[in-house]
Amino acid sequence: MPSTEIREGDAAPDFNLPANNGENVSLNGLKGKWVVLYFYPKDDTPGCTKEACSFRDTKPKFAKKNAVVLGVSKDSVGSHEKFIGKYNLNFLLLADTTGETIEKYGAFKKKSMFGKTFLGIQRSTFLINPEGKIAKIWRNVTVDGHEEEVWKELP
């Protein structure tokens, strides 16, 4: 895990990850656009489904502000394809099966559930400006209303 976490104003770490559309997506390839990069624990689980569907439903609003939404988890491209098909998601999901990008963004954290401690993906969102700098960070996201919080940060 990184010894120092990235902060607002820092250059966003580049990535090059396979997407559900069969192509690889890199941050460098998105220069000139606002990027909503959100990390989530697992495809087709209640909280992750609710978050993905919220971004799906508000994608047209984001598009009007030149923003793309990308979801990232450790799930495979095949898992992402099923998740997208089941819920008609209209944005790309990226497969970080090694967890390298998740770690670069500091979204791999110690978590606890039912008294057990483990490492896992902390629900986090990064708003990256068109120059590739981090404009806003949300960590330990609460799903309800989150997409609206993100949208309000866009100029």
What's the distance, Cα to Cα, between the start and end of the chain in Å?
A: 32
Instruction: Please indicate whether residue 48 is annotated as part of the active site.
Output: yes
- Rounded to whole angstroms, the Cα distance separating 13 from 39 reads 14
Tokens 């099966």 map to which residue? 97
Which candidate in 27, 48, 94, 127 is catalytic?
A: 48
Backbone phi, psi, residue 129, to 5°: -80, 170
- Rounded to whole angstroms, the Cα distance separating 128 from 106 reads 15
Catalytic residues: 48
